[in-house]
Amino acid sequence: MTAYDELMAFERDTQALGQIAGRLGWDQETTMPRGAGEQRSEEMAAISGVIHARRTDGRVGDLLDQIDDSKLHAVGQANMRHIRRAYERTMRIPAKLAAEQAKLHSTAQGVWAEARENEDFSAFSPMLMQVLDMKREEAAALADGGDLYDALLDDYEPNAKASDLEAMFNALRPKLVDLRERVLNAPNQPAALSGTFDEAKQMKLTRHLARTFGYDFAHGRVDKAVHPFSSGSGQDVRITTRTNEADPFNCFYSTIHEVGHGCYEQNIDEAYLLTPLGEGVSMGVHESQSRIYENQIGRGAAFTGWLFGEMKDAFGDVGVADAKAFYGTVNRVNSGYIRTEADEIHYNLHVLMRFDLERAMIAGDLSVSDLQDAWNERFEADFGVAVDKPSNGCLQDVHWSVGLFGYFPTYSLGNVYAGCLNKAMRAALPELDAGLAAGDTSAATGWLRENVQQYGGLLQPRDVIEQACGFAPSEAPLLDYLEAKFGAIYGV
């Protein structure tokens, strides 16, 4: 057995344990009995401990020293890129810091939830200060003299640089602000959906939608959870959605979004199963798949025309005159406070704001005590309305309480990538809309499987997108798409 084979065999079991830990998390959010929480945290801590011990096992370091990557085939080299990177990152963080962080994040999440409930930022800020201090300590350990924020970003988007994202986002922001103003001031606004929509019927149609987008139920399942998510890789990729009697779009588009994540995992080359290549390569590339399924395909005029018919079949009269009006209803723009409920124009403005604020916090340029004011000021500038309460402002997202700094920008990077992929896909498939209008997504999902999803972790994140598109990714295709789409719907 070569050192490479030995390392890959060791890695395979670590990957399998990682899948088990993920499934425990899935179970906790879907079917776990209410009273099992305490035992579950102990179970989760135990399995994370086992995985952490394997990731820092001296044998991994020894084997890595024996392997000459240049002698390996392309797949072997890619595996080594992932294993070396993960090993180096894990070894840089002192065990004591990692343990303290895990404990702090679980406490901070509870404090955040209570502060949000009570609309009291000052109840959360001392906790956030501690989380931030430890995060900066972690970043310093990882950065080794380099940029602190880049070191954190690298965990979610390997090789990305915050300065590149900043340039991209600064080009997006004024154009989005301008477009939102024109759209919201347009004389003709699309009608909102009205009425109530049976939740069992929503779940039936949502499963039909998942199938329509190519989600494989032999290797997945759809359950309900408070916050929709996808979980698992390889042969067991599960997604969740939610229902709301007044808003079936929440259910359908949460499902289509998670199906995008799920199909990415399901469509990776099966030769990569339980290896570092057997899962999506980065958060940004992952989000490009969920967002292109959800928006460029799922909220397009062709597909919503088909969905209109499906909704009438399921619910009878939905209070919208025809497919054209329905397309406007699906794509209604309004300047809400909440990121996760935002339309395609506002969504990135939410993310860009968090990116700038968290980068300033990590750099030491913005203190936690000034965060709420900085948030409210920026929100009013970009959204044109004042924040009315903390739960609609800087207490709305869980991310910072659990130390997720460097994660937010991958949402917008994913949207930028989705814009690029949509441009390339439509150039390659000029007849695409004819299929979508009949509820057939196979040409689109097949193109994405072939050009993006099958590669898993083989290529670097940005390279997967650039290879699929045939041009260097930029924000321009996303802006062109938004301008054309909302310009037409709103007549601006």
Question: Which residues in this chain contact Zn ion in the complex, by CB under 5 A?
Answer: 290
Q: Which residues make Cβ contacts (< 8 Å) with residue 277, sequence separation at least 6?
A: 75, 78, 79, 82, 268, 269, 456, 457, 458
CB of 44 to Zn ion, least distance (A): 22
Q: How many CB atoms lie within 10 A of CB 130?
A: 15
Angle between helices 3-30 and 74-92 (to 10 degrees): 70
Nearer to Zn ion among residue 290 and residue 331 (C-beta):
290
Nearer to Zn ion among residue 290 and residue 441 (C-beta):
290
CB of 261 to Zn ion, least distance (A): 6
Nearer to Zn ion among residue 266 and residue 275 (C-beta):
266
Q: Which residues make Cβ contacts (< 8 Å) with residue 181, sequence separation at least 6?
A: 384
CB of 251 to Zn ion, least distance (A): 16
CB of 419 to Zn ion, least distance (A): 16
Q: Exactly one of 11, 138, 258, 287 is catalytic; name it.
A: 258
What radius of gyration, in Å, describes the C-alpha atoms of the chain? 23
CB of 267 to Zn ion, least distance (A): 16
Nearer to Zn ion among residue 290 and residue 348 (C-beta):
290
CB of 297 to Zn ion, least distance (A): 15
| 463 in Cβ contact with 78 (< 8 Å) | no
Residue 258 appears among annotated catalytic residues: yes
CB of 290 to Zn ion, least distance (A): 4
The dihedral through the CA atoms of 232, 235, 237, 238 has a sign that is negative
Nearer to Zn ion among residue 231 and residue 290 (C-beta):
290
> Per-residue b/e over 284-311, b at no fewer than 16 CB within 10 Å?
bbbbbbbbbbbbbbbbbbbbbbbbbeeb
Beta bridge partners of 230: 239
CB of 242 to Zn ion, least distance (A): 14
Nearer to Zn ion among residue 182 and residue 399 (C-beta):
399
Q: Which residue is nearest to Zn ion (CB)?
A: 290
Cα separation, 412 vs 399, whole angstroms: 15
CB of 22 to Zn ion, least distance (A): 16
Nearer to Zn ion among residue 290 and residue 401 (C-beta):
290
Nearer to Zn ion among residue 142 and residue 418 (C-beta):
418
| 393 in Cβ contact with 375 (< 8 Å) | yes
Nearest to 478 by CA among 324, 304, 349, 340: 349
Nearer to Zn ion among residue 101 and residue 295 (C-beta):
295
Token pair for 392:
């609609």
Where in the sequence numbering do the catalytic residues fall? 258
